[in-house]
Amino acid sequence: MSDGAADPDDELVRRAGEGDQAAVQALVARKLRRVLALAERMLGDPAEAQDVAQETFFKVWRHAPRWRPGVARFDTWLHRVALNLCYDRLRRRRERPTAEPPELADPGPAPDRGLLAADVGRRVRAALQALPPRQREAIVLCHYQELGNIEAAGAMGVSVEALESLLSRGRRALRAALADLA
Amino acid sequence: MTDDRLDNLLAAYAAAEPGADLRTRIIAAAPRQRTIGRAWRWLAGAALGVGLAGSGAAGVAAGVSLAPAGVSHLIGAPDGVSSLADPAGDAANG
């Protein structure tokens, strides 16, 4: 691990791999919400996000018995697994062009300042889904998952400079899409 | 649009909370401790131990029954008689 600090998840993963049900429940409580949120923001589809979250944890259970502390941070590995599953689904969407895309909010006419938070949420969701996947991934990891740049770059398999470029372009595109809400 | 304003807008997109069904499915698929295997291994170990102890006892009994008279005397002398022969006493008694 890059910073040498102990991974707070190592012990839970080890015990979960041994079938310790208390550790299993604690790991799910600690990580499921984050994984589901990542998948939902990447895919824009709550049902697909649930499938990805479930598959992610199934992979965790398969790997937990052989998890070796110190090789990688579990959280980074977990994000990588979830992102790969998201990209699998995004690829399948592109390969099935006749399939209905997930329902996205209709931006509609320019809103006034009294726009409800839920409406703003739908607008942001639509704007995120309109981003190229890599820019969306950078925004989701850094803004929503609150990963540091180094960890986000590690999860994406890119340099920190490349991550920052993706973040900059993504944020620029979001500003343009949401300019009427400024 | 400022960075802060964009961040505030992004925060308005709240992700759904995981439902109970999803949690249940995930936890149900987790590894289980192999308690049945461990119980069988314990029983097997205990049975082996009892068997070895029994074999040991049987071996000792066989050894005693097959031992020469002098050794048998040492091992199982009758009550009231010293396990060591008393040459003076034997001679006095003729």
Buried b (16+ CB within 10 A) or exposed e, B49-81: eeeeeeeeeeeeeeeeeeeeeeeeeeeeeeeee
Q: Are A1 and A73 in contact (CB under 8 A)?
A: yes
Q: Are A42 and A140 in contact (CB under 8 A)?
A: yes
Judging contacts by C-beta atoms under 8 Å, the chain B residues touching residue A125 are 13
Q: Which value does ipTM take for this structure?
A: 0.84
pTM value is 0.73
Q: Provide the 8-state DSSP code for A142.
A: I
The pair of structure tokens assigned to A94 is 């592109």
* Cα torsion angle, A138, A142, A143, A145, sign: positive
Compare CB distances from A121 to B13, B22, B29 and report the shortest one's residue.
Answer: B13
Q: What is the mean pLDDT of residues A72-92?
A: 95
The pair of structure tokens assigned to B17 is 């909370």
Q: If we measure between CA atoms, which residue out of A157, A163, A180 comes closest to residue A72? A: A157
What percent of chain A stands above pLDDT 70?
87
B65-74 confidence digits (pLDDT tens): 887 766 656 6
Q: Provide the 8-state DSSP code for A141.
A: I
Buried b (16+ CB within 10 A) or exposed e, A99-119: eeeeebbebeeeeeeeeeeeb
A88-114 confidence digits (pLDDT tens): 999 998 877 655 555 554 444 455 555
Compare CB distances from A40 to B16, B31, B32 and report the shortest one's residue.
Answer: B16
The percent helix, strand, coil of chain B (3-state, each to 5) is 70, 0, 30
Distance from CA of A42 to the nearest CA of B (A): 11
Residue-level pLDDT at A6: 86
A128 touches chain B (CB under 8 A): yes
The span from the CA of A56 to the CA of B29, in Å, is: 12
